[in-house]
Amino acid sequence: MSRTRSALFNVYWAAWTACFALPLVVLAALGCPTKPIRAATRLWSRGILFGLRYIVGLSYVEEGRAHIPAEPCLIVANHQSAWETLAFLILIPNVAIVAKRELVAIPIVGWFLRRSPMIIIDRANGTQALRTMIDESRMAIAEGRSILMFPEGTRSTIDAPVQFKRGVELLYAKLGLPVLPVAVNSGLYWPHGGSRHIPGTVVVSYLETLKPGLSGGEFMRGTQDAIDAELNRWRSGTPEMSLQAS
């Protein structure tokens, strides 16, 4: 049954996304106004989450929203599936996501994400990618937007230890923002590398913030260890993990 639901959802995804082709043309003709583009991007994301809930049976809950700072912050989250990439557009309105260039190659969706705008980097460019990330993050902060980064660099499995790339340490040092660690367990329900979606409830856990000005080692330990400790809640003995492995 879950495979049938996943197939239906994939058809729904494609059809829902195709509905945004006409708005894309209209918004492009109007000069790509940022606010309407962001609103359309959030609408697209809400539609995807709607399909996951009512076709697949995959919903989500949030824990610890009181930890989200009122002012712009640097959000660092583990990355297990495409779910959190689209869900954060709703969870943290107007967030600026640090995303790899491959994401904007997706037809229609990529056009909206690029012009929301997100912080698009080409990791092959090395030092230039870091400069772009820092400069565009500062511009987003000036607009009152928080920055979201998935510092693992790629999606990982639920049982893999959290290991951040060093770029997030540099971003933390340059921006001087409070840091909000976030743990998600979406990999239990949307396994990496597949199109199968498993019914259940994704948990998004906002953890205690870290203050700016910590040493690089303190920052890395504080974020990685906090997220890893939260992931341990979902790493052993869950029915969903058994289903994922089958």
Domains of the chain: 60-245 (3.40.1130.10)
The answer for residues whose C-beta is within 8 angstroms of residue 39's C-beta and 6 or more apart is: none
Residue 243 has pLDDT above 60, yes or no: no
Per-residue pLDDT of 53-97, as tens digits, reads 999 999 999 999 999 999 999 999 999 998 999 999 999 988 999
Whole-number pLDDT of residue 52: 97
Distances (CA, A) of 227 to 74, 164, 190, 196: 15, 11, 19, 25
Specify whether the CB–CB gap between 129 and 122 falls below 8 A: yes
Distance CA 182, CA 108 (A): 28
Per-residue pLDDT of 15-48, as tens digits, reads 999 999 999 999 999 999 999 999 999 999 999 9
Per-residue pLDDT of 211-226, as tens digits, reads 999 999 999 999 999 9
Instruction: Tell me 105's DSSP state.
Output: G
Instruction: Name the pLDDT band for 161 (thresholds 50, 70, 90).
Output: confident
CB count in 10 Å sphere of residue 124: 9
Output 231 or 195, whichever has higher pLDDT. 231
Tokens of 62: 């949030």
Per-residue pLDDT of 137-146, as tens digits, reads 999 999 999 9
The answer for residues whose C-beta is within 8 angstroms of residue 31's C-beta and 6 or more apart is: none
Specify whether the CB–CB gap between 100 and 110 falls below 8 A: no
Strand (E) positions, the chain? 58-63, 74-77, 96-100, 119-121, 147-149, 179-184, 200-206
List the one residue out of 182, 177, 99 whose CA is nearest residue 141: 177
Q: What is the pTM of this model?
A: 0.90
Tokens of 176: 């001087």
Whole-number pLDDT of residue 240: 44
**Distance in angstroms between the alpha carbons of the first and the last residue of the chain:** 14
Instruction: Tell me 206's DSSP state.
Output: E
